[in-house]
Amino acid sequence: MTLKKKSDIKKRTKELYAEVASKGTSGYPSAALPPDSLEYARSIGYSDQEMKSVPEEAAVTHGCGNPTALAELKEGEIVLDLGCGGGLDAFLAAQRVGRKGRVIGVDMTPETIEKARANAGAGDYPNVELRVAEIERLPLPDDSVDVVISNCVINHSPDKVAVFREAHRVLKAGGRMFVSDLVTASRLPEEVLRKADRLWADWLAVASDRREYLNAIGAAGFRKIVVAAEGPFPLAEADNLLKGRIISIQVKATK
């Protein structure tokens, strides 16, 4: 894929999520996308208690897992959330690390960060900092965070090795990464890429298969790479073209 093609896909993804930040679910071009519902949140691993513990507008997820449930966060830790969206995972992490800890949420879309800041203002999160930034180029110093989390975001990046290298760079020695994400079960036939609807087509064009994704984590320097859970992604299973082709995966790794 050419650099221009990758750039075009990233631009369209950014525009889509800017629209979603403004309009909510109605901003999505496909009915097959995650609904803003407690039922969907439960299906990917959030408890009712977690969803009720954050401001109402933040109790929304378009993710594919619950990385904070994996992360075993400790009081006083510094956590980085890659692609924080409206702030749900950042706020849950903030509760776990306490006032002595800190959470930094980054997202490439200004409109999304604006929404996350509004959600933070509706709660009590003095230990959460929200920044506009691309996950391939993080505005953080080396060895500065204890934990990196991300929820169904890295799959959108055309350069996943760059994302994981940045995560590795900013983590302290012994730091941990916990990622919920989507991968393909194997390389996809050209027919699937041609027939996929607009949203899926852009994602599939930069998607990694399971092996490529895990190899990218290793290539970035991580060790102790463990697949904590994996299974079919329900929203893809509802699409005959994608049934059996998309996997939701949760990965732990250590610097």
- Candidates 209, 194, 118, 203; CA nearest to 157 is 203
* Confidence band for 21, pLDDT divided at 50, 70 and 90: low
* Domain encompassing residue 146: 3-254
What is the Cα–Cα distance from 235 to 243, expressed in whole angstroms? 9
What is the Cα–Cα distance from 254 to 188, expressed in whole angstroms? 30
What is the Cα–Cα distance from 180 to 150, expressed in whole angstroms? 6
Q: List, for residues 170-227, the tens digit of each pLDDT value.
A: 999 999 999 999 999 988 888 888 887 666 777 888 899 999 999 999 999 999 999 9
Q: Is 72 left (phi over 0), alpha (psi -120 to 50) or beta?
A: left
End-to-end CA gap in the chain:
30
pLDDT > 90: percent of the chain: 69
Place of tokens 């994608």: 242
Domain harbouring 84, CATH code: 3.40.50.150
What is the reported pTM?
A: 0.89
SS3 73: coil
Considering its fold, how many domains does the chain have in total?
1
